[in-house]
A and B are shown apart, each in its own frame.
Chain A
C-alpha cells in the first residue's frame, strides 16, 4: 500500500492569508496546499457572528482577507494539537456567508456546493471557495500545527478557532472568474454520455 497519496504530487503551494494576486490566480479545479493562518467556524459560530453584527458590535476577529474553514473539530487528546478536523457541509452556512463576504472575508472552505446567492456574493466581493477532503479528519489533523481558541468557548466544537496549518490540501471550487468546479465536473460527465 502506498503511504503518500498521489494527491500531493502536483499541488500549488499557497500561503495564508492569501496575497491578492494569488487569490486572483486560483482556478476552479486546481489542487492547492495551504500553509499559514486560518479561522474556523460552523453553524453556531456563524449565528453568533451575525448576532454581533445585528447588535452593531465588533467581531472577535477581523475576517478581512482571511480564510474561514467550516469545521467542528473533535477534542484533542492530551499532548495533541487537535482531534479530527475535516470539513463540514458548507450549504448550511450559505445564509450567513454574503454578510461575512461583505466584510472582506477572502475565502471559505468546506465541502459541497454553494447556493447561487453565495456564488454571486463571492464574485461581487472577490472571494473564492475551496473544498477540503470530507471524511478525512484524521489525515487533515496532521496538517494543523497550532489551534487557538478565539471566541465562543461555550459553543464547544462550534467555537471560533485560529489554526496554523501546514500543507493542508484543498481543491478550488469557485474562483474569481465565476467558475464552479462541481458544475464543470457535472457538465463534463453529461458530455461523455
Chain B
C-alpha cells in the first residue's frame, strides 16, 4: 500500500492556497481574454482589460487577485490504496492556516453568531471522497462571498420541468445584478437531494471554464442558459455589454420522483482554483 505523510499534504495545501490567490489558471485567463476581444460594450471592454491587467499585476507583484481571498474549500479524492500517516483533517486545516499567514492572505472566516474572526481563515470546508487507486487529488477553491452570497438552493416541483429550471436560473442570475462581480461562472446542480444539489453546483465550478457537459442534452441546456443570460445585457459589473456570464456549467444527478432540486453556485470572474495530484 502506498504511504503519504500528512506533513506532505499540509505543505501542498499551503502552497495551493498561496498560488490560488495570486496566479489565475489558464482556463479563466483565456476566458477573460476571449471576452475582452469580443466585447461590444465600451466600458465593459475597458473593465475586462483592467481585469486582465489585474491578473498580471497579482502574479508579478504577489498581490492577491482579489482582497477577498475567500473561505477555503477543499475537494479531495483519496485513492483507496493510499495510507495516510498522521491526521489528514488536521494537515488540511494547518495547510490553509499556513498558506493564509505566510502568503499575506486575508483572514475572512468568523463565527456566524458573534462575528468574531477566527484569525486563521480556518476552518476550511473539506469534502473527501474515496476513489479507486493509489493517488490523492487535492483541489483548492478559495471562494469569495460577493458571489457565494448570490447563490441559492430551491426544490422545484417536477412539473416545473426544463423550462422551470431555465427560468429559475435566469431569474437568480439577473437578481444577483452586479453584486457577484460579473462576468460570472454559473454552477448549476440539478437533482440529487437537498445537499447533493448544492454540492453538484459547487463541483460544476471545478470544471475548466467553458468545458461542456459530457451529456449532450445538458450541454445544449448549458449553451442555452449562457446565451439567454448574456442576452439580458447586464454585462460586466452591470455596466452593459454581452458578457454577464463567461460560462454555465451544469451537473446532474437522478432525484426523487417527487422532487427537482436546483442548486445555483455563482462564481466571480476572479475564479481562483488550484489542483494537484499526489
Chain B residue nearest to A76 in the complex (CB): B104
Which of B55, B69, B119, B237 gathers most chain A CB within 10 Å? B237
Residues of B within 8 A of A72 (CB): 67-68, 106, 108
* Number of chain A interface residues as a range: 35 or more
Cβ B240 vs Cβ A86 within 8 A: no
Cβ A74 vs Cβ B106 within 8 A: yes
Query: A116 at the A/B interface (Cβ < 8 Å)?
Result: no
Within 8 A of A (CB), among B209-245: 232-235, 237-240
The docked-state distance in angstroms from the alpha carbon of A65 to that of B147 is 31
Residues of A within 8 A of B115 (CB): 43-44, 47
Residues of B within 8 A of A111 (CB): 146, 178-179, 181, 237
Known contacts A73-B106, A75-B104, A112-B179; decide if A6 and B49 are in contact (CB<8 Å).
yes
Query: A17 at the A/B interface (Cβ < 8 Å)?
Result: no
Query: B47 at the A/B interface (Cβ < 8 Å)?
Result: yes
Query: B93 at the A/B interface (Cβ < 8 Å)?
Result: no
Cβ A133 vs Cβ B237 within 8 A: yes
Cβ A133 vs Cβ B50 within 8 A: yes
The docked-state distance in angstroms from the alpha carbon of A1 to that of B54 is 13
Known contacts A6-B46, A74-B104, A157-B107; decide if A138 and B181 are in contact (CB<8 Å).
no
Query: B163 at the A/B interface (Cβ < 8 Å)?
Result: no
The docked-state distance in angstroms from the alpha carbon of A60 to that of B57 is 34
Residues of A within 8 A of B106 (CB): 72-75, 83-84, 157
Residues of A within 8 A of B53 (CB): 3, 5, 139
Cβ A186 vs Cβ B67 within 8 A: no
Residues of A within 8 A of B89 (CB): none
Residues of A within 8 A of B105 (CB): 74-75
Within 8 A of A (CB), among B101-145: 104-108, 115, 117, 119
Residues of A within 8 A of B55 (CB): 138
Residues of B within 8 A of A76 (CB): 104
The docked-state distance in angstroms from the alpha carbon of A91 to that of B106 is 21
Which of B53, B69, B117 gathers most chain A CB within 10 Å? B53
* Number of chain B interface residues as a range: 35 or more
Cβ A135 vs Cβ B234 within 8 A: no
Which of B58-66, B72-80, B195-203, B254-262 has 4 or more CB atoms under 8 Å from chain A?
A: B58-66
The docked-state distance in angstroms from the alpha carbon of A113 to that of B179 is 7
Q: Of the candidates A3, A31, A134, A136, which one forms a contact with B178 in the assembled complex, judged by CB atoms under 8 Å apart?
A: A134
Tell me whether chain B's interface is mostly helix, strand or loop, or mixed.
Answer: loop
Cβ B47 vs Cβ A133 within 8 A: yes
Whole-angstrom distance between the Cβ of B230 and the nearest chain A Cβ = 11
Residues of B within 8 A of A158 (CB): 117
Cβ A1 vs Cβ B50 within 8 A: no
What is B's interface to A at a CB cutoff of 8 Å? Answer: 43, 45-47, 49-58, 61-69, 104-108, 115, 117, 119, 146, 149, 177-181, 232-235, 237-240, 268-270
Would you mind naming 25 contact pairs between A and B with Cβ atoms under 8 Å apart? A5-B50, A5-B53, A74-B106, A84-B67, A84-B69, A85-B67, A88-B67, A88-B146, A91-B179, A111-B237, A113-B179, A133-B54, A136-B51, A137-B66, A138-B55, A138-B57, A138-B64, A139-B50, A141-B57, A155-B117, A158-B117, A171-B43, A182-B238, A185-B238, A185-B239
Contact with B along A154-193 (1 / 0, CB 8 A): 0111100000000001010000000001100110111011
Query: A34 at the A/B interface (Cβ < 8 Å)?
Result: no
Cβ B237 vs Cβ A134 within 8 A: yes
Cβ A135 vs Cβ B178 within 8 A: no
Q: Of the candidates A7, A47, A75, A138, which one forms a contact with B46 in the assembled complex, judged by CB atoms under 8 Å apart?
A: A7
Cβ B67 vs Cβ A86 within 8 A: yes
Residues of A within 8 A of B240 (CB): 185, 188-189
Within 8 A of B (CB), among A87-116: 88-89, 91, 111-113
Contact with B along A124-140 (1 / 0, CB 8 A): 00000001011111110
Cβ A137 vs Cβ B63 within 8 A: yes
Query: A71 at the A/B interface (Cβ < 8 Å)?
Result: yes
